[in-house]
Structures are given as structure tokens and as C-alpha cells.
Chain A
Amino acid sequence: MANLAVDLKEKSTSKSKINVTLSKSFKIWISALTIAFLIGGYFIVERFFTGLAATNLSSITPWGAWIAFYIFFVGLSAGSFLLSTLIYVFGMEEYERVGKAALFTAIVCMIVALTFVLMDLGRPERMLNAIIYWNVTSPLAWEVHFYLVYIGLLTVELYIAMREDLVRAAKTNSLKGFVAKLITFKNATINAATKKRDHMWMKILGTVGIPLAILGVHGGTGTIFAVVKARPAWHTALFPIIFVVSAMVSGTALLLAMYIIKKKVQKQPIDQGMVVSLAKLMVGFLIIDLGLQFYEYLIGWYGLETEHLDTLATMMASEKAWSFWIVQMLMGAVIPITIVFWKKTSQNVNALLAAAVLIVIGIIGVRFNIVVPPLVVPVFHELPWGNYAPTIKEWMVSVGVVAMGLLIYSFGELLLPIEETSDEVSHNGK
């Protein structure tokens, strides 16, 4: 106990030091986000008054940027959650540094994803109808339910993952300590029994969460598209699987990028071994994803179905093909794979950071290419073709929603013990 007390003292002093070094860059970061959120917020409010007339959507192309961002953030969430299960369920302790951040990222990404759906509804005030009048044959209605259960599970899991740190923090006099006191019981303690109990619950929740995240949340989101037989390019059994794999790619890339950026800003040492290994994992997922996409396009092309060919042509050979070749393929695949495998860059943290950021941007391109091209091609060749590009208003609303997510994340990190404690660092450094 005496040792623990000394430990705690050391920790509280080191934490206040961190806070001091953090404060300036943190303040700049928060004010930049607030400005972005306020500008975006204006357009969000405006959108609620004008309705979907604020967008470039039409009855030919009824889904656009907001749906693309929605599936992008669902993917990030599922990906970062699955990464956290590697740690808490499969015991890959080398990634423990990003464990709680992965869980919290998963929660915030879900909130952002659902906000994008809300923006996209023609009648946002009726959103609860999807729960009240649940249609059991609608994948979208199932997804709304899965998302809510998933967010609940993530929240409980994050709480248990943080519990020891919360109990420790509750005894300190810092801002985190104050929050910790609010959300822990007075008689909460840490001993061998609670450690065992927490560990067991992490394993149970993680195990329940894996099928929920794969089949329910992200496979299910892919199913929303895959069941639509009216759009041949979506209507393949491989589609939900590609969704899950690309979620793993983007989730890993996002966590890697966030870890490196955070450590750089805080001027703390970066665990190079973990970064290199995480980058390898990320590119591994990316290569599987590319393989699946290759078969998807090949078989679609070989089928010679007019609408399928038109969709592929719209994606790969129209004036908007830059989104496929430059964003999805060059930025999202070729450059990052080169960086991770080329000897000169494979150990360089900055280069790997660039690879991770490029992959995240590349997956945004993937999401747009999933949503838009099949909806540009009309269901009959004689009907008018769609011509969709997001309006400034759509972009500004998106900026506002993303800024909101980043604000939630930043304040969460300020108030909750999400970053690894020095205890874990020593444990990892053994």
C-alpha cells in the first residue's frame, strides 16, 4: 500500500506536468475545432430549415456525401473496436498503448456516424420511427438497433477498461480526479479479485462485441447495400465482407495516425516497435481488401450486365474517375504499401504516419466510390443519369459534424484516463 501511495504521488505530479505542457497546444487545438464546429453548425442549422434542398441530391442519386461519411465512420468504429479486441480478447499486449483510445474512438465514431445519418434524413424529427415501427425485413432498421446496442456495449467496456485508472485518479486532486469521483463508487478499490473480475468482463464483452461488430455493425452496414438487387454493383455476397475488411484497414490506420500525432504533440517518446508492427498489420488488411475488390470488379465485369458495366465505367473511366484512381488506388493503396515495405521508409515513424493518414483519406474515397457510382447509373438506360457532386453546404455540414466528433474526443481525453498510465508504460517496457 505504501508503495502504491508513492506511485500515486509520482503520477499526480507527472500528470500535472503533462497538463502544463499540454495546455497551450491543447488550447489552440480546441479553439480551432470550436471555430470549425461553429461554422459547420451554422450550416447544420440552415440545413434543418431548408431540408434536403441544401444538397445536390436528386431522386436519381438519392444518397451522397453524408451517407458516404456515415459508412466511413461506422467503418472506423468497427475497425478500431476490432483492434481493441486483439488486445483485450486475444492478448496482443504489444498494442496495449492504444487499447482504451481504440474503444473511445469507436464510441465517438459511432456518434459521428449516426449524426451523419440524422443530417441525411428528410424528416429528422421522425428518426425514432425506425425503432417504434421496426420493419424486420429492413436491414436499415436492424442496423439502427445494432448501433445502439453496440454503443452501449462499447461504453460499458470502456468503463471497465478505465476502472482501475478511475479509482486511482479519484484519489488525486486534478480535473480527471474530479470526474473520476463522479463516475466511480466511493468504496471502489483495486485488488487481485477486482483485477481478475475486470479482466474477465473485458474478455466477455470483447467476445460478445466481435460478432456484434463484424456481423451486426459493419457487415450489417454492408448488407444495407448488398441486399439491393436493383443495383447490381452492390448486389454481391462479397460486399459485406469487403466492408468489414476495409473497416479493419481504416480503423488500424486511424489509431496509428492518432497515436503518433498525439505523442509528437505531447513530445513524448514513441514506441517505434509498436508503430512498425501496427503499420504491417494495417497494410496486411489493406492487401486482403485489395484482393477482394479485385475479384469483385473482375466478376462484375465478366458478367457483362449493362448496369454493372456502366457502374464500373462511371467509377473507373468517367470524368470523376480521379476519385477511384488517385484517391482510392494511388493515395489509399499504392503509396502506403510502398512506404511500409520500402527499406528506407519502413522504420521511419514520420513516413509511417504519412502512410496511415493516406490510407484514412483513401478509405474516404472508397466510401464515396461505393455510394455514388451505382446511384449515378439509372435503373433504366433511358432514364436521366445522375450527376452528383456535394455542394459547399454539404461539405460544411460534414466539417461541422466531424469537428463535433473531434471535440467530444478531445474533451473525453482531457476528462477521462484514456491515455495509458505510466504504470502500463513500465509494464510494457519490461
Chain B
Amino acid sequence: MGLFSNEKKVDYDKIVDKMLPDAKKEMDESQYDTELGLNMARDARKVISGKLKIEDFHKVYSSSLTKEFGNYYASGDGPDIRKGDGPKWAMVIDLKKCVGCDTCTVSCKAENRTPPGISYNVVMESLEGEFPNIKAVNLPRPCMQCDKPACAQVCPTRATYKMENGIVAIDNDRCIGCRYCIVACPYGARSFDFGESYEQEMQGANDVTSPEYGVERGNREKGKTPIGTVRKCSFCFHRLQRGEEPACVETCIGDARFFGDLNDPNSVVSKLAASPRAFRLKEELGTHPNVIYLR
């Protein structure tokens, strides 16, 4: 078969080529310059195959791109997050839709591989009133990702800090494990990693870990970071980097959770945050949470 394989490959390529849209026809339909698009596509292939340097590519097309796209063309940089141009992540939880099934808690544990005793998300359940006038309240509680986080204020080493995208992060390689942040958090959203493991109940539990804040740490081993440090919900930062929603938002059975960019006035969370039903937990403390509830 080896002898004939070459011929076959050409056939497959042809099939693929037939499937592709005609570049010239597509570009003619758009409002932008056809010639420029075709040339850029050709040179982009050269960049991918290593025949052309990316810097030269930018040099060649920079002036014509500015001419064609004007203000929309940025010279290689993404949005300047230091100017607050980037997203500010926020979550809205509709308490009327929450049924208290704890799927968020379970999916969070599965996603973030949290050890025994640590749950980044919990659902606080309570009954209000006297029977028969009784009402059940389910209050899911992830980390509030406060704008003025009490935890970051008291951390002696600046190991916990506010990221530009609104997430309160922990540098587990710097944390000394003094637990002052746990004491100072008004929402009980932080946990200390005492080093416990599910290895007893599940073989290989230590081999699967989750890349918190984008850091892949490999197997969970005794004495290895993050053991001995403080941990908390990161709005599933590793999933956001892949363009996915946090696990709790994705798995919520009643679609009670919404996630998005609070800096974008057209986002769902921005609109819901402006609803008269919106409130935040312990607002009087001035921490200004980015988890917003709808009563």
C-alpha cells in the first residue's frame, strides 16, 4: 500500500480543495479590498511554513492595513488592559432560578480538583419563616472577586492580589500560609490546603490536577505547592483563557448563573446588574463584590 499512498493523498487534497470556498469570490462579496486579502492570505501561509518572518509580514502590510481599516486596525497589540480596556469578569446569580441542586458545587470540585475540605463554591440553604408560611432560600456562594478585597488588603506578602480582569488571584508560590486572608474574608470564600487527598477513595486521585491561574503544577504530592497555602475560586481562570465559561455557570441546571464582561454595557451581566432585583452580599462592608444576585 505504501507505494500507492502518495497518489491517494493527492486525491484527498483535491477533495478538500473542492470543499473550500473560492477566496476571490468571497473577498469580492466583502466591502474590503480583494487584492489585499488574497496577498495577505498567501503571505500568512509563508509565515506559518517559516519562509517569512512575522515582523516582515507586519512591515509589508502595516500601511495598507491602516489605509483599509483605519482606526479598527491596531498594530499588533491587544486591548491595553492597564487602561481598563479589557474585560472585567462578573457573575450574576438568579436566586429565583436556583433550585439548590448543588450541581455548581460538584462541577466546581470536579473542574478544579479540589481536595477534601475545600469547596470553592457552596450553596447555603436555609428555611425562613414559620410553618406553613415558609420559604426556602438557596444562596450559591463562589468567591465574590471583590473590587476592594479585604483578603488582598491584609495579605502580608502581596501573594493575593487583584488582576486587571477583576479576578482576585493567589500566587501560591509566594503564600506563606498565615491564613490572615481566611480570617479577613467576609464571605468565607477561602480555604487552607491542609494536604488531604481523595487518594484513599479513588486510585490516581493525585495524578489529575487543574491549572489554577493558568499554572500547571502536575501531580499533587506531599509538601508540594499548593499544599500549605490558601486556595479559592478563580472564576475558572484556566477555562476563561480557553474562551469557556466557569464550570458552575456551564453546568447550572436551571441556567441561574450568567457570566460576562461588566465593562461591556451590552453584555447580559451588565444589563442584569442594573436590574432592580440586583443586590450584592454584605454590601455595607464596602468590598464591592463582582458576584451579583437577583432576588
Interface residues of A (CB under 8 A from B): 51-53, 57-60, 62-63, 117, 120-124, 126-127, 129-130, 132-135, 137-141, 144, 224, 227-231, 375, 378-383
Selected contact of B186 from candidates A117, A133, A227, A229, CB within 8 Å: A229
**Residues of A contacting B157 in the complex (Cβ-Cβ under 8 angstroms):** 126, 129-130, 132-135, 141
- Contact between A62 and B176 (Cβ–Cβ < 8 Å)? no
Selected contact of A133 from candidates B153, B158, B179, CB within 8 Å: B158
**Residues of B contacting A126 in the complex (Cβ-Cβ under 8 angstroms):** 157, 174-177
**Residues of B contacting A138 in the complex (Cβ-Cβ under 8 angstroms):** 153-156, 180
**Residues of B contacting A123 in the complex (Cβ-Cβ under 8 angstroms):** 175-177, 228-229
Residues 138-167 of B at the A interface (beta carbon under 8 Å): 139, 141, 150, 153-159
**Residues of B contacting A58 in the complex (Cβ-Cβ under 8 angstroms):** 117, 192
**Residues of A contacting B125 in the complex (Cβ-Cβ under 8 angstroms):** 382
Cα A65 to Cα B54 in complex, Å, equals 61
Selected contact of B124 from candidates A62, A124, A382, CB within 8 Å: A382
Cα A52 to Cα B229 in complex, Å, equals 10
**Residues of B contacting A133 in the complex (Cβ-Cβ under 8 angstroms):** 157-159, 174
**Residues of B contacting A380 in the complex (Cβ-Cβ under 8 angstroms):** 124, 139, 141, 187-188
**Residues of A contacting B230 in the complex (Cβ-Cβ under 8 angstroms):** 122
Rounded to whole Å, the gap between the CB of B271 and the closest CB of chain A is: 28
B211 sits at the interface (CB 8 A):
no
5 contacts between A and B (CB under 8 A): A51-B227, A59-B191, A62-B183, A135-B157, A380-B124
**Residues of A contacting B154 in the complex (Cβ-Cβ under 8 angstroms):** 137-140, 227-228
Q: A51-B228, A53-B194, A59-B118 are in contact. Are A140 and B158 (CB under 8 A)?
A: no
B185 sits at the interface (CB 8 A):
yes
Q: A137-B154, A230-B183 are in contact. Are A52 and B124 (CB under 8 A)?
A: no
- Contact between A140 and B183 (Cβ–Cβ < 8 Å)? no
Cα A135 to Cα B174 in complex, Å, equals 12
- Contact between A129 and B176 (Cβ–Cβ < 8 Å)? yes
Rounded to whole Å, the gap between the CB of A90 and the closest CB of chain B is: 35
**Residues of B contacting A52 in the complex (Cβ-Cβ under 8 angstroms):** 177, 192, 194-195, 228
Cα A58 to Cα B178 in complex, Å, equals 13
Closest to B284 in A: A229
Describe B's contact surface by its main secondary structure: loop
**Residues of B contacting A120 in the complex (Cβ-Cβ under 8 angstroms):** 178
Cα A99 to Cα B141 in complex, Å, equals 55
Rounded to whole Å, the gap between the CB of B74 and the closest CB of chain A is: 34
**Residues of A contacting B269 in the complex (Cβ-Cβ under 8 angstroms):** none
**Residues of A contacting B153 in the complex (Cβ-Cβ under 8 angstroms):** 137-138
- Contact between A383 and B156 (Cβ–Cβ < 8 Å)? no
Cα A24 to Cα B188 in complex, Å, equals 55
B268 sits at the interface (CB 8 A):
no
Q: A51-B195, A59-B191 are in contact. Are A135 and B156 (CB under 8 A)?
A: yes
Cα A126 to Cα B229 in complex, Å, equals 11
Rounded to whole Å, the gap between the CB of B173 and the closest CB of chain A is: 9
Rounded to whole Å, the gap between the CB of B179 and the closest CB of chain A is: 4
B190 sits at the interface (CB 8 A):
yes
Q: A133-B157, A141-B156 are in contact. Are A228 and B124 (CB under 8 A)?
A: no
Closest to B193 in A: A122
**Residues of B contacting A124 in the complex (Cβ-Cβ under 8 angstroms):** 176
Q: Map CB proximity to A onto B228-265 as digits: 1 under 8 Å, 0 otherwise.
A: 11100000000000000000000000000000000000
B182 sits at the interface (CB 8 A):
yes
**Residues of A contacting B196 in the complex (Cβ-Cβ under 8 angstroms):** 53
B126 sits at the interface (CB 8 A):
yes
Rounded to whole Å, the gap between the CB of A233 and the closest CB of chain B is: 12
Closest to A125 in B: B176
**Residues of A contacting B122 in the complex (Cβ-Cβ under 8 angstroms):** 383
- Contact between A228 and B184 (Cβ–Cβ < 8 Å)? yes
Selected contact of B182 from candidates A53, A59, A139, CB within 8 Å: A59
**Residues of A contacting B191 in the complex (Cβ-Cβ under 8 angstroms):** 59
Closest to B231 in A: A59
Q: A120-B178, A133-B174 are in contact. Are A140 and B117 (CB under 8 A)?
A: no
